[in-house]
Amino acid sequence: MRRPHAPPLRGSLPPEGADPAWGGPAPDHRAPSTLADHEQQARELLDPAAWAYLCGGAADEITLRANQQAWQDLRLRPRVLQPLAGGHTRLDLLGRTLAHPILVAPMAYQRLAHPQGERASALAAAVLGAGYVLSTQASVLLEDVAPLVLGEPARGPLWFQLYLQTEREHTVALVRRAEAAGFEALVLTVDAPVQGPRDRERRSGFVLPPGIAAVNLPPPHPGAGARGSLFDTLLRTSPTWDDLAWLRSQTDLPILLKGITHPDDARLGIEHGAAGLIVSNHGGRTLDTMTATAALLPEVVAVANSKVPVLVDGGIRRGTDVFKALALGATAVMLGRPVLHGLATGGANGVAHVLRLLIDELEIAMALCGCRSPEQIAERHLHA
């Protein structure tokens, strides 16, 4: 939720301090020029408890910090005087040509960041040609989001992120709705059978405000006598590989697995028919002290061995980070929190600006490294 007395957005302010001697208004030094600028302004605009939910991580937030740091620690190694004319960021993914390798990661309850929530982020993604993944825990009906994306000619892929529900009939109902609405793939999140201990969020006293809910799910039914070990209660019905086989039997949609970090799981995922693997530690929100995704990516890429695409998320904040992910073998990346920051600073416009900045930075990184297309980005562009 935005703070009750949040100032108007900077972009909408009339130009102040216009100095005719300089021939125009003074530049607005507060206008965001980077994803970090969006983050800083979003922090000022959002209620502190909402900020703790949206941007916090698990426990000591070691993985949350490590994700960003790991991309920063990789060093680039450019080639010069390469032909760059006719360069582009296009690539193929699951039978579609994407304008660039950036998708919006699934994130719950986006109406906490802006009243339009997922409607705004989906529209911005579609206009900017970014793929969009809608969370099972979206705060807007999936049937309201899909047409916004499907109606945009420049759009990227539209996927639905699935948490397997305790009752299989609830899972099937969600899948049927996603199919009917036009979602083109399922992203099965496998790294969060329980929520991580999000201490920052608990300390802030965060609770979902009235009017914001996971509207695509049936109302929660509190478990009778839900005391006792986690393993006897909540995890009695936690998903296993057999459930993936069952899910595949229920739908023709391709299924990508999100939260694959171990090479053995990558192998099992491919054996079980996953259409793609997403290397993710849930943005440092589940198991703290997990390794950063940049460091986990290469082993998963090696197992996938070009049989299925590998995507990665976590800590991507610069075009050079996207470039490095591709250099390590990812087909594409997913962007998480910066989308929420853009939502907070300017709704759909803010998200579009965040995506535009990242795409522009990627193009610059490609040009400066001597790469004319994503296909040319390779490990040799990283300094060992």
Ligand X SMILES: Cc1cc2nc3c(=O)[nH]c(=O)nc-3n(C[C@H](O)[C@H](O)[C@H](O)COP(=O)(O)O)c2cc1C
**Residue 67, interface with ligand X (CB under 6 A)?**
yes
Instruction: Please name the residues in contact with 302: beta carbons below 8 A apart, sequence gap of 6 or more.
Output: 263, 329
Residues 155-174 that bind ligand X (CB under 6 A): 161
Q: Which stretch binds ligand X (CB under 6 A): 42-50, 238-246, 298-306, 329-337?
A: 329-337
Q: How far is the CB of 94 from ligand X (least distance, A)?
A: 18
Which one, 269 or 315, has the nearer CB to ligand X? 315
In three-state secondary structure terms, 316 is: coil
Calculate ∠ Cα 145-148-149, nearest 5°.
95
**Residue 105, interface with ligand X (CB under 6 A)?**
yes
The residues that bridge with 256 in the sheet, in sequence order, are 187, 276
- Whether the CB-CB separation of 145 and 110 falls below 8 Å is answered with no
Q: Which of 137, 204, 349, 376 binds ligand X (CB under 6 A)?
A: 137
DSSP letter string over 318-370? Answer: SHHHHHHHHHTT-SEEEE-HHHHHHHHHHHHHHHHHHHHHHHHHHHHHHHHHT
Catalytic residue list contains 272: no
Neighbours of 134 (CB within 10 A): 28
Q: How far is the CB of 377 from ligand X (least distance, A)?
A: 20
Tokens read off for 85: 């004319």
**Residue 54, interface with ligand X (CB under 6 A)?**
yes
Q: How far is the CB of 328 from ligand X (least distance, A)?
A: 16
**Residue 89, interface with ligand X (CB under 6 A)?**
no
Q: Which of 196, 315, 342, 374 binds ligand X (CB under 6 A)?
A: 315
**Residue 358, interface with ligand X (CB under 6 A)?**
no
**Residue 261, interface with ligand X (CB under 6 A)?**
no
At 367, which amino acid appears?
Answer: A
Residues 186-215 that bind ligand X (CB under 6 A): 189
Q: Report the distance separating Cα 135 and Cα 157, nearest Å.
A: 14
**Residue 32, interface with ligand X (CB under 6 A)?**
no
Contacts with ligand X, residue ranges (CB under 6 A): 54, 67, 105-108, 135, 137, 161, 189, 258, 280, 282-283, 285, 313-316, 335-337
